[in-house]
Amino acid sequence: MITEATQIDKDLLVKEYAEKGFVLWPERIPSQQTASLLKAWEQMWILADASTQNDTVLYRDHEVEGRVADRLEHVRLQSKAYADLCEASEIKSFAEELLGGTCFVLKDKLITKAPQTSGYDPHQDFAYWSNIGLEPDEVLSVAICLDDVTDQHGPLELYEGLHGSTLPAPKEEALDVDPSALEGKKRFAFISKPGGIVFFHALTPHFSASNTATTPRRLFIITYALKKGPEEEIRAAYKAGFDRIQKFHLKDG
């Protein structure tokens, strides 16, 4: 398991999160656990490939193949290894410190980003779940690297100190952030060894470029929300507003 950080460390991390909108966890998931997560990833994709009707699989643009299966949704419901990680005391308890109360898993996803697969344009996650009855400060995400990620892999890049409000969107995509609002702003690239962890606010703008490396960039993302009502009702509200967005990622969408 992850080594527990001291309370003094946590106080400093909470302060950094408040200032920047994101914070690195000082410890990494052990290599043995990361290996188990990758083995589970392989098993889930075998099952996904065997199914012609699987709404947990999403697709991304690929330079050669056009569209490729890239993302698995609701991973914790398919794998005990990922379910245990979502409930890991060190991760979840720190999320609760940042959120200010008891939290639950709103959603989770595993992005594979194979070589030559495209990334994601700048956006703030809260735009995707602004309809669930929670404030931006009451939702955060945790990104966990499962691979050795370099700048060639199209790492997650987070903008610093821009989590205080929603940013203007380009006319063509209401859920993204207009790049002009980010010009000259400081950002951090989540380049990491396997097992690295970063927590980030629901309004922290972020993006990722295409993977130009020869190996995949597998990133597991857990989204925690403050428990202010029945979990299933909040999840249902999220799903009701997100179904139309998911269609964009489907193979023939």
In the chain, where the domains are located: 20-249
Contact between 138 and 99 (Cβ < 8 Å): yes
Q: Which pLDDT value is given to residue 6?
A: 54
What's the fold here for domain 20-249?
Answer: Jelly Rolls (2.60.120)
Number of other residues whose CB lies within 10 A of the CB of residue 214:
9
Q: Which pLDDT value is given to residue 10?
A: 87
Distance CA 99, CA 115 (A): 35
Q: Which pLDDT value is given to residue 246?
A: 57
Contact between 238 and 129 (Cβ < 8 Å): yes
Q: Which pLDDT value is given to residue 185?
A: 97
For the chain, 253 residues long, the average pLDDT of each consecutive 10-residue run is 58 96 93 96 89 77 88 94 92 95 96 95 92 93 97 98 95 88 97 97 97 97 93 85 57 36
Q: Which pLDDT value is given to residue 131?
A: 84
Q: Which amino acid is at 41?
A: W
Task: Give just the sign of the alpha carbon dihedral 217, 183, 98, 76.
Answer: negative
Q: Which pLDDT value is given to residue 253?
A: 34
